[in-house]
Amino acid sequence: MKDYYYSQSVEEVLRQLEVSPDTGLSEEEVEQRLTQYGPNKLKSKKQKTLLAMFFEQFKSIMVVILLAAAALSGVIGIMEGEGLVESYVILAILIINAIIGMVQEKKAQSSLDALNQMSSPHSKVLRDGQVMEVTSTDIVPGDIVVLDTGDIIPADLRLIEAVNMKVQESALTGESVPVEKNAQVLDAVELPLGDRDNMAFSTSTVTYGRGKGVVVGTGMGTEVGKIANMLQNTEDTETPMSKRLGQLGKVLGYVALGICVFIFIIGVLYGNDWLHMLMMAVSLAVAAIPEGLQIVSTIVLAIGVQRLVKMNAIVRTLPSVETLGSVTVICSDKTGTLTQNKMTVVEGWTGGNRIDFRNPPLPEELDNDEQTLLQSSLLCTDAHLKSLPDGKYETAGDPTEIAIVNVALGLKIDKNALERRFPRLNEVPFDSERKRMSTINRMEDGTLRLNLKGGLDETLAVTTHILVHGKIRPITEEDRETIRKENQQMAQSALRVLAVAYKDLDTMPADVNAETVEKDLVFVGLLGMIDPARPEVLEAVRICKTAGIRPVMITGDHKVTAVAIADEIGIYNQGDKAVTGTDIEAMDDDTLYRNVEEYSVYARVAPEHKVRIVKAWQSQGDIVAMTGDGVNDAPALKQADIGVSMGIVGTEVAKEASDVILTDDNFATIVSAVEEGRRIYDNILKVIQFLLSANVGEVLLIFIASIVNIGNPLTPILILWINLVTDSLPALALSMDPANKDVMTRQPTDP
C-alpha cells in the first residue's frame, strides 16, 4: 500500500500519517518517530574502527624494514651476547608509532566528520504550528515540509500544495528537464516514478515555484534509498598534494634501497662483517624513508579546515584548501556579498514626478499615481510583515521586497491589510532570468488586477501604456526615453531600480504563466533603493590587488548601478570595462575568451552566463573562485575551481554544488580564506622541506661513513628517535606557523 500514496487524496494520506497540515507534528511525536524510523539518511559506508586504523599503520614498507631491523638486531644481539633489548625497543617504538598514527588519523577523520555535519543540507518543516529549519537527517514520516525554489527535497513527499512548482528529478527518472508538480490525486496504480506528479522524491531539487508536502518515506525507505547501493559515493579524502607526496615517498624509497645495496657491497668489499653491514644498510633504509610525508599534509589541511570554520568559511573538501591558496580571480555577486543587502527605497518616479522618500510626503499628500505605485509594488511582494505587540513591526523575506514593505509602512500602508483587501489569487514567481514577478489580485469591485515589478528593460519590454495623472494612455517613444533617463540618473547614484506596472484583467486565464499574462501592461513608475557596500569590502579588494588576485563583480543588477558600486569599492578602475549578459550572449567563445580580462563588471547577468564567464577566465590560465546562491548557479559553482556558496541566503542546491560555504555571505571572508589557504600551503611546504632535509642528513651521514669505512654512526634506534621524536614535534610546530608577512603581497603560486 505504501507505494500508492499518489493514488490517495491528501486528506487520506494525512490521516494515515496522523498529522495536521496546519500545525505539523509535535516535537514529542517527532522524537518518538525518530526512534521508530531512525534518522533520515542513507546507510553510508561503515566507518573504520580504531582497531582497523591501528593495524593499517603496519601496512607501510617502513614497518617491514623496521621488522627486518628488529630481527637483525636480535640475531646480532644473541651472537654478541648482548641479548634482545634492542629488538624489543624497536618493536615498542613500532607500536607507539602505530598508536600515534592511529590517533592522528582518528582526529583528522573526526574533524572531517564534523565538517560534513556542518555542511549537510537543511530543510524547512512545520512543527507545533511553526515553520522551522532543521537538519534534513532529523526529518520523520508525517513531517510537513515547506518547499521553495532552490530547496533539496529531503525525503519522499506526497505534495499537499504546489504553486507553479517544478522539480528536477533526472537522477531518479532520467527526465532531463524539470517536471511540473501538483497536489492532485492520481487515479492509477503502478505508475512509474516519472509519472507520479503529486510526489516529490528525496534528493531532487525544486527549480521553480513553491509548495508543501507530507513525508511518506525517509532514509533507506525512500526511492533513492532503494537504489542507494548504486549511488554510494566513494569518499576520497586524499588530496592531489597528498597523492603527489605519496608518489615522492615511493621514489625516495627506491633511491634509498639502491643506496643500501651500494653501501652493503662497499662495506663487504672493505672486508667488514656482512651481518654488521646488513645492519648498516637497514639503518640507512630507516633513515631514508620519509614516512611522515603523506599523513602530514592531511593533518595540516584538517587543522586548517577547522581554523577556516572559525573564519566563517566551511570548506567542504580537503583539496579545496590547497586550491584556495592559488586562486587568481574572484568572481563575486554584488548583492549581499559585496553589499550589505539592506535595501532602502530612497527615490521614486511616477508620471513625470520624482518622489524623495528620504523626506517622504505625508500619506494624504500621495497622488493617484503614487498610490498606485505603492499599491501595485506592495501587492507584488512575498516579504512577510508581522506586527508585534509593542506596536513595532518585524519583516522577513527578500531584502528588495522588504524595502518596499518598509517604505509603504512609513506612509501608513500596511501590507497585510492591503492584501486582505485585495487577496492574491495567482502569481508568476520572480526568477533571475526573466527579472520580473507578477501577482493577480482581486480588487474590491471583484475585477482582477495583475501587478508586476521587475528590472526596467524587462518591464518596458512588456509595457504598452503608461499611467499619467490618473489617466492611462499609450506609451510613446518619448515616455520611454524619459523613463530611461530617470533610471540612468538613479543608477548612477548606485541605486537599484525596480519598475512597476499593472493591468486589469477581464477573466483569469486558464493557464497563468509569464507568456499568458505578462504583456500589454500599463507602466506606473520606478522605485530606487540603496544597498550600501559592506565597509570591510574596500580593504578586502585592496588586499586582493596586492596579492595578485583580480576581484570581479557579477550581478543581475543594471550596468550603471553595478559600475557605480564597483567604482566605490575599487573593483572598477580607470580603463576597465563593463559588459552585460546581452553583450556576452552576442559574443562567440573566442571573442569572450580574448577579452575577458578587460571586464571588471558583468551586469544583467543570468546564471547561465556565469558558466561561460568562469570558462573564459580559466581559458586564460586563471584559477577561479565564483560565488553563487541560486538554484541556477549550481553549474557555474561546479565549473569554478572554487565554488563559493552563501550560507545565509544561499539555496541548498547551491551549497551542495559548492566547495566552500560562507557562513556570513561576505566577500571579505573569501579573501581571508584565500590567505589561510596560502598559509596552509606554505606550512605544508615548510614541513616537507624540514622532514626531507632531516632524512637527507641522516642518509648522507651513513653513506659517507660507509665510504670512508668508519663504522655505523647511527643505529636504527637512534634514527627512530630522530625521526619520530626530534623530527615530528618540530614538524608539527612548523605546521602551525602563523602566515608569513608577505603572504598577501606576493603573486599566487602556480599549483
Alpha-carbon span 369 to 411, nearest angstrom: 15
Which has the closest alpha carbon to 434: 650, 730, 208, 260? 208
Report, in Å, the least distance between residue 438 CB and ligand ATP.
9
Q: Which is nearer to ligand ATP, 33 or 604 (CB)?
A: 604
Are 396 and 345 in contact by the 8 Å Cβ rule? The answer is no
Alpha-carbon span 295 to 165, nearest angstrom: 48
Alpha-carbon span 749 to 751, nearest angstrom: 6
In total, the chain counts a number of residues equal to 751
Determine which helix (DSSP H) or strand (DSSP E) holds 686, and give its type and residue range: helix 667-707
**Closest residue to ligand ATP, based on beta-carbon distance:** 556
Are 272 and 43 in contact by the 8 Å Cβ rule? The answer is no
Report, in Å, the least distance between residue 625 CB and ligand ATP.
15
Q: Is-catalytic flag, 333?
A: yes
**Residue 375: strand, helix, or coil:** helix
Q: Which is nearer to ligand ATP, 93 or 498 (CB)?
A: 498
Cell 509602512 sits at which residue? 409
Report, in Å, the least distance between residue 515 CB and ligand ATP.
18
C-alpha distances in angstroms, 607 versus 198, 384, 553, 581, 635?
28, 27, 14, 9, 9
Alpha-carbon span 16 to 32, nearest angstrom: 17
Give the N- to C-terminal CA distance of the chain in Å, as an integer.
56
Report, in Å, the least distance between residue 435 CB and ligand ATP.
4
Which has the closest alpha carbon to 317: 751, 657, 679? 657
Tell me which DSSP letter residue 631 carries.
Answer: G
Cell 509593542 sits at which residue? 390
Strand 521-530 and strand 463-468: the pairing is parallel
Q: Which is nearer to ligand ATP, 30 or 498 (CB)?
A: 498
Q: Which of 143, 151, 333, 557 is catalytic?
A: 333
Q: Which residues pair with 349 in a beta bridge?
A: 354, 526
The CA-based angle 529-534-540, given to 5 degrees, is 145
Q: Which is nearer to ligand ATP, 496 or 655 (CB)?
A: 496
Report, in Å, the least distance between residue 344 CB and ligand ATP.
15
Q: Which is nearer to ligand ATP, 194 or 397 (CB)?
A: 397
Report, in Å, the least distance between residue 186 CB and ligand ATP.
34
Q: Which is nearer to ligand ATP, 139 or 521 (CB)?
A: 521
Report, in Å, the least distance between residue 366 CB and ligand ATP.
22
Determine which helix (DSSP H) or strand (DSSP E) holds 521, and give its type and residue range: strand 521-530
Are 225 and 203 in contact by the 8 Å Cβ rule? The answer is no
Site residues for ligand ATP per CB under 6 A: 333-335, 398, 400-401, 430, 432, 435-437, 453-455, 496, 498, 555-558
Tell me which DSSP letter residue 703 carries.
Answer: H
- Rg of the chain taking only CA atoms, in angstroms: 33
Q: Which is nearer to ligand ATP, 120 or 432 (CB)?
A: 432
Report, in Å, the least distance between residue 453 CB and ligand ATP.
5
- Dig out the grid coordinates for 463 from the structure: 509595457
Q: Which is nearer to ligand ATP, 105 or 629 (CB)?
A: 629
Active-site positions read 333
